[in-house]
Amino acid sequence: MDDGDEIEYSRALVQIVDEITAVPTKPAWIRRHGKDEETAALPPILPEEFVNLATQKRVTPKQACSYLYNLKIDIQKRPLSERGPDDEARQVGGRVLLWLRSQDMNVRDQLSLNHRFVGCISYFLVVEGREEFVWSWLLHELSNEKLHCFPSGRHAWVAAIMKAQRKVSGTVDLPLRTLQRALNGFQGPYLRDVVMAAARVAQMMIQDTTLAPYDPTLAEAVLSAIERAFLPGSAARKRRIAEMMLFHPTHPNARLFLDAAPAHLEVVMKTNRDAIIDAFGSNAMRAAYILRLQSADEKANWLEDLLRSRIPKVWSARSIALFHLNHDPKLEGLRRSYKGQIPPTFDHWG
């Protein structure tokens, strides 16, 4: 896979994770916002209406979307803690998924590709403790596929469940265990998109600088997912692993990122996209910080010079980056074990 292919593959990955299916010439956030506006404009469907329509087999995909969307809005106004055990918000996820399973392939495809629908139903299934419903359904879908691959869009359900678990639990443990389960349960070359989407979501989660150290075996699950998602020996695979290791919960490592930085920078600059360039710059700042804590000042200087000359926008915000790095609990072990100057010198970052 050459650099051009890797850039396009990264762009495709963003589309997978975000469930983008609208006009491809518009930016992703505009497409998602348009879908949200369409859903919000639909006539609201009350719980009783949905039950009656489902019994009569007259529920349309738009009505299912409206039902979930409006109940999600309502639960934000009145949380579950204020609701009784039989409240509709405690059973909507299971009810709608059972309805979805009864639909034909076209409807299942249509709704599996709907960003708002997948996000809402995943949220309710997690709140209800019914994630098993999703696993059962996905395995059922897989068993009907002769090529042992998911139909269009099914790959995004695992990623959506992970996002919902992170939001509801406030930790990464549950979503990363879900990733482990996906790795064990969905194997084979045709299931690469499932792992790809889940791995990307996991990697975004663990890059939270406020995240406390977590079970390192879960970090191994993220590493395994990246290794499975990208071709062996590819530059893209090496870079993803290098980025992941910057955020390892117990043994952060900047050496891999440093080794890949020259080639990675050229690929990043070719994209001409601020978000991608800024993300690389942010990771380079973290790598330089880690290297200084390991008394590798010469290597840290090289990364800082690279930022100063090639990505001045990120370098100009170094004092903000330093604040977050100084308060990242995953780096506390390195700070405690530092053997050089006390404290390490970051004066030139101020």
Spatial contact of 284 and 257, defined as CB atoms under 8 Å apart: yes
Query: Which of 226, 251, 276 is the last residue before a domain boundary?
Result: 251
Q: Are residues 207 and 283 in the same domain?
A: no
List the Cα angle 282/272/115 in 5-degree steps. 80
* Per-residue tokens: 317: 């915000």
The residue segments making up the domain with residue 287 are: 252-350
Q: Are residues 315 and 267 in the same domain?
A: yes
Query: Which of 235, 251, 267 is the last residue before a domain boundary?
Result: 251
Q: Are residues 284 and 325 in the same domain?
A: yes
Q: Are residues 127 and 158 in the same domain?
A: yes
Q: How far is CA 116 from CA 19, 112, 224, in A?
A: 9, 10, 29
Determine the number of helices (DSSP H) and then strands (DSSP E) in the chain: 19, 0
Q: Are residues 19 and 135 in the same domain?
A: yes
Encode the chain (350 residues) as per-residue pLDDT tens digits: 455 545 544 544 444 444 433 444 555 544 555 566 676 677 888 888 888 999 999 999 999 999 998 888 888 788 777 877 777 777 899 999 999 999 988 898 889 888 789 999 999 999 889 989 888 888 777 766 544 455 556 778 899 999 999 999 999 999 999 999 988 887 766 577 888 889 999 999 999 999 999 999 999 999 999 998 888 999 999 999 999 999 999 999 999 999 999 999 999 999 999 999 999 999 999 999 999 999 899 999 999 999 999 999 999 999 999 999 999 999 999 999 887 666 666 767 75
Q: Are residues 245 and 323 in the same domain?
A: no
Q: Work out whether the CA dihedral 216, 283, 302, 325 comes out positive or negative.
A: negative
Query: Which of 230, 251, 272 is the last residue before a domain boundary?
Result: 251
Region of 188 (left: φ > 0; alpha: ψ -120 to 50; beta: rest) is: left
